[in-house]
Amino acid sequence: MSGNVRLLSDTLAAAKEEGRSALIAYLPAGFPTVDGGIEAVKAAIEGGADVVEVGLPHSDPVLDGPVIQTADDIALRGGVRIADVMRTVREAHAATGAPILVMTYWNPIDRYGVERFTAELAEAGGAGCILPDLPVQESALWREHAEKHGLATVFVVAPSSKDERLAEITAAGSGFVYAASLMGVTGTRASVSSQAEDLVRRTRATTDTPVCVGLGVSNPAQAAEVARFADGVIVGSAFVKRMLDAPDAAAGVEAVRALAGELAKGVRGQV
């Protein structure tokens, strides 16, 4: 069974042909429950997201700020497992036809087994993985199995990345490059870092792979700002916060759908 790396590439290319950035949403699996998380992913796509990253909840999420840490804690206390992450990918992709990636730290994959994880993700219809803490120089085993199963390998670059390092990272990755707009953890912010545009420019000098920007984008105006220079706009904490603030699970799903619609207008410059 081959994964959906081609679907991911085609989706990003289609957005570019429309003269806009793609909207990429992030939501953790198992939050507020496994079923509720699946409904939220579907709502994000139905609302206007082109791609969704499904987070694999982790007890030590070094890149994630307090909002996503709170959601991860709820999911972990609810007993979420990797099988639930795969189910989330499978059911969301089957219902929407959209590319679904998993965002995960390396330790859970290493413990689960690289071959097992990639095979199951491909079988579920997944498009690939975002691996924020896997060093490129230690990624050969992962990339071998991901390529075999038709999965994208998305690495993260940061404003601190030197040009030589950017070239090394982009040469090894596929699908898109995740450009972290600032040094720090995920979260909503009043403004998007000015470092983001320079990072995209420097990253594009090393690759034709789309460059998508995350960390700090939370509203349509910020999405429009980033969409001017990035191939994709990644939003996570704002979606999770809407769900955390909702009075119940059903309202949380509708809040995700509404935010996706607002951000979809943002990436199209309709704000």
Residue 46 annotated among the catalytic residues of the structure = no
Residue 213 has pLDDT above 70, yes or no: yes
- Whole-number Å distance between alpha carbons of 271 and 264: 10
Q: In what order do the strands lie in the sheet with 211-214?
A: 152-154, 128-130, 100-103, 51-55, 22-28, 232-235, 211-214, 177-180, 156-157
In degrees, rounded to 5, the angle at the alpha carbon of residue 204 between the alpha carbons of residues 199 and 206 is 105
Q: Please pick, among 35, 50, 60, 64, the residue that the annotation labels catalytic.
A: 64
pLDDT at 192: 57
At 187, the pLDDT band (50, 70, 90 cuts) reads very low
Q: Mean per-residue pLDDT for 101-124?
A: 97
pLDDT at 1: 62
pLDDT at 155: 96
DSSP conformational letter for 156: E
- Whole-number Å distance between alpha carbons of 218 and 207: 27
At 271, the pLDDT band (50, 70, 90 cuts) reads confident
Q: Mean per-residue pLDDT for 7-15?
A: 97
CA distances for 100 relative to 94, 96, 221, angstroms: 10, 10, 25
Residue 164 has pLDDT above 70, yes or no: yes
Residue 18 annotated among the catalytic residues of the structure = no
Lowest mean pLDDT among 35-44, 52-61, 69-78, 123-132: 52-61
Rounded to an integer, what is the distance from CA 255 to the centroid of its chain? 19
Q: Mean per-residue pLDDT for 133-161?
A: 95
Lowest mean pLDDT among 63-77, 212-226, 236-250: 63-77
104: which residues sit within 8 A by CB, 6+ positions away?
55, 56, 58, 85, 129, 130, 131
Q: Please pick, among 39, 50, 53, 231, the residue that the annotation labels catalytic.
A: 53
At 182, the pLDDT band (50, 70, 90 cuts) reads low
Q: Is 119 exposed, middle or buried (0-12, 13-18, 19+ CB in 10 A)?
A: middle
Lowest mean pLDDT among 29-38, 165-174, 211-220, 258-267: 211-220
pLDDT at 62: 61
- Whole-number Å distance between alpha carbons of 108 and 98: 25
Average pLDDT, the chain: 92
Residue 191's CB is within 10 A of a number of other CB atoms, namely 9
DSSP per-residue string spanning 16-80 = HHTTSPEEEEEEETTSS-HHHHHHHHHHHHHHT-SEEEEE---SS-TT--HHHHHHHHHHHHTT-
At 130, the pLDDT band (50, 70, 90 cuts) reads very high
Q: Are 11 and 98 in contact (CB under 8 A)?
A: yes
pLDDT at 25: 97
Q: Are 25 and 53 in contact (CB under 8 A)?
A: yes
Residue with tokens 């689960």: 112
Q: Is 270 exposed, middle or buried (0-12, 13-18, 19+ CB in 10 A)?
A: exposed
Q: What is the pLDDT of residues 241-269, one digit of tens each?
A: 999 999 999 999 999 999 999 999 999 98
Q: Indicate yes or no: pTM above 0.85.
A: yes
